[in-house]
Chains A and B, each alone.
Chain A
């Protein structure tokens, strides 16, 4: 008996299979060069493996660590734990991407904490490039600052009022 996998590779039962295949009518032609090796699978002569001496997360959709990989910022802290969790899911699942986005947000807070721990107060004005706003969009910047101040004032008033009501 032929197994399902064998049957799927055997096209003899499909009448006329491949009869009209025409590379010139292939939508991927000539973007992709035909090599006739397309069907051989994961068999190429792999480049030497970069030593895996840091934690590098691996998509569950591939069997190996790629021969080279980036070493920018290995997972760390709470965001790192969330990222490790995300990599239990395939790239086609929200279970993969939404935790990664959450980890990114957590990571921002970690970054600020880390700055303070190193005795550095992040200069938000500079990091947001607001010197450019001052130069090229002064009115927009003033508006942003005023709106920010208004929101802060309102929030502060509401909070202190709440406190007062609670005291009573």
Chain B
């Protein structure tokens, strides 16, 4: 089968790999019909996540058709069209029982902080991902969810990560009616977080980014105020100024480790890799939120140390909430929202690329060429 193959920072290619094996009685093999490249894949692509091994296949956002099931799989059957949450979760451990599916304790041996994630380095379990024709899916009784027959596959594939992550970002903000919400980053997750902030009753939604076409997109899609931070002397002062010098009630970091905007953070976090990625967006979030406000973090950071302004967190009395989205917990509600037309995820897909051209797709997305918002890879064996 064909699969994306990581060869080193900013070098990927398509290669032939063996068809995946059932390794556990609750495994399934899924024939991928669509997989996305995610902003967080770029941390892997750039070589910023420790224990990203040459030869791995990335891809944690995918849907497909069940091709084979292990002897203990009862909840799905061969031929079912399923969407697969990016978190690998057992459904049984203490954390899964609490709905914290991003924190499962039975899916990652290599780290205790993070659960298993498809195609996301050995730090997240060493699983090959879905940027391939076939993929092994563990705990197939739990994660994979049959796609409703009336649902567009382009919507379904975004329900594996982008939509729930954006939604949970807003949910973790504890937004109260009328709140001013600032979202840092107008990538797909930031766009979705801005859209969802309204669902929780926000009174004003503001998005900051540095790429003009993304700002234009989020203005139309969310709909919200969107500003280019490269045109500001200081984004924090800017937010204070437009919020009557109080700061925002809720700030959402939808950027994570690749943040631009601070030379010190870029050098130490993105170039030298001596901290867990650049924390610029998080700095801005902490410093622009109102005293007593809430900062919600869904941007991905590596391990382990960060230059984070913790003194300001204490002095301002900020609540910080952060997690990988618990996709499975949110799916029923989000499927409903998509079916009722409240959310329209597929509108974010700008590029449809054959799986064979994966290297070009990564380059286009990473370097924001051709006004790319969200690329989808399509294996030629789909039908």
Binding site for B on A (CB under 8 A): 27-28, 31-35, 37-38, 40, 44-48, 50-51, 56-59, 61-62, 65-73, 75, 79, 83, 86-87, 91-94, 96-98, 100-101, 103-105, 107-108, 110-112, 122-124, 126-133, 135-137
Would you give the shortest CB distance from B262 to chain A, in whole angstroms? 21
Contact B139 A72 (CB under 8 A): no
Interface contact B110-A108, CB-CB below 8 Å: no
A-binding segment of B91-99, B153-161, B178-186, B246-254? B91-99
A59's partner among B54, B98, B99, B112 (CB-CB below 8 A) is B112
Whether A129 pairs with B360 at a CB distance below 8 angstroms is yes
Shortest A143–chain B CB gap in Å is 13
Bound Cα distance A67, B106 (Å): 5
- Whether A104 pairs with B110 at a CB distance below 8 angstroms is no
**A101: which of B106, B125, B273 is its contact (CB, 8 Å)?**
B273
Chain A neighbourhood of B321, CB < 8 A = 27-28, 31
Task: Check A40–B94 contact: CB distance below 8 A.
Answer: yes
CB-CB nearest 7 A-B residue pairs: A129-B363, A70-B126, A70-B127, A108-B8, A111-B54, A100-B50, A129-B359
State the Cβ distance, B290 to closest chain A Cβ, in Å. 16
The answer to whether A56 touches B97 (Cβ under 8 A) is no
A21 to B264, CA, bound (A): 42
Find B99's partner among A32, A51, A93, A136 (CB 8 Å cutoff). A32
Decide: A103 near B109, CB < 8 A? Known: A47-B26, A57-B122, A111-B8: no
Interface with A: B10-18, B215-223, B336-344, which one? B10-18
With contacts A56-B110, A70-B127, A136-B370 taken as known, whether A110 is within 8 angstroms of B54 at the C-beta atoms is yes
Give the residue name and chain of the A residue nearest to B371 (CB).
Answer: A136
Q: Give the complex CA separation of A50 and B39 in angstroms.
A: 31
Contact A68 B116 (CB under 8 A): yes
Q: Which chain B residue has the least Cβ–Cβ distance from A93?
A: B304
CB distance from A124 to the nearest CB of B (A): 7
Residue in contact with B24 in the complex, picked from A38, A48, A111, CB distance below 8 Å: A48
Interface positions of B from 116 to 159, Cβ below 8 Å from A = 116, 122-123, 125-128, 138-139
Partner of B359, one of A47, A70, A127: A127
Q: Are B139 and A127 in contact (CB under 8 A)?
A: no
Contact assessment for B111 and A59 in the assembled complex, using a CB-CB cutoff below 8 Å:
yes
Asked whether any CB of chain A lies closer than 8 Å to the CB of B67, the reply is no
Cβ contacts A to B, 7 pairs, < 8 Å = A58-B110, A66-B125, A91-B304, A104-B51, A107-B53, A127-B7, A132-B361
A41 to chain B, nearest CB (A): 8
In the complex, whether B171 has a CB less than 8 A from a CB of chain A is: yes
The residue from A35, A83, A92 contacting B97, defined by CB atoms under 8 A apart: A35
Complex interface: chain A residues within 8 A of B57 (CB): 72
Assembled-state Cα–Cα distance A111/B88 (Å):
28
In the complex, chain A residues whose CB is within 8 Å of the CB of B55? 72-73, 111
- Helix, strand, loop or mixed for chain A's interface? loop
Q: Which of A40, A97, A127 contacts B13 (CB 8 A)?
A: A127
> Which of B25, B51, B359 is close to A83, meaning CB atoms less than 8 Å apart?
B51
B195 to chain A, nearest CB (A): 20
B108 within 8 A of A: yes
- Contact A91 to B98, CB < 8 A, known contacts A50-B23, A66-B108: no
Q: Which residue of A lies closest to B93 (CB)?
A: A44
Q: Across the two chains, which residue of chain B brings its CB closest to A126?
A: B359
Q: Is B369 an interface residue (CB 8 A)?
A: yes
Pick the residue among A27, A32, A61, A97 that contacts B98 (CB under 8 A): A32
CB distance from A36 to the nearest CB of B (A): 10
By a CB distance below 8 angstroms, the chain A residues around B9 are 108
Q: Of all chain B residues, which has the CB nearest A47?
A: B90
Contact A108 B54 (CB under 8 A): yes
In the complex, what distance in Å separates the CA atom of A83 from the CA atom of B111? Answer: 13
Q: Which residues of B contact A110 (CB under 8 A)?
A: 54
B51 and A47 form a contact (CB under 8 A): no
B126 and A38 contact, CB distance less than 8 A: no
Which residues from A are CB-within-8-Å of B125? 66, 69-70
A66 in contact with B106 given A31-B172, A44-B97 (CB within 8 Å): yes
A97 x B126 contact (CB < 8 A): no
Check if B369 sits within 8 Å of A133, measured CB to CB.
yes
- Provide the residues of chain B in CB contact with A129, threshold 8 Å: 12, 359-364
A11 to B90, CA, bound (A): 34
Q: Is the CB of B94 within 8 A of A131?
A: no
Determine the distance from Cα of A35 to Cα of B10 in the docked complex, in whole angstroms.
Answer: 44
Tell yes or no: B105 within 8 A of A by CB: yes
Asked if B88 and A136 sit within 8 Å, CB to CB, the answer is no
Q: Is B32 an interface residue (CB 8 A)?
A: no
Report how far A136 CA is from B369 CA in the complex, Å. Answer: 6
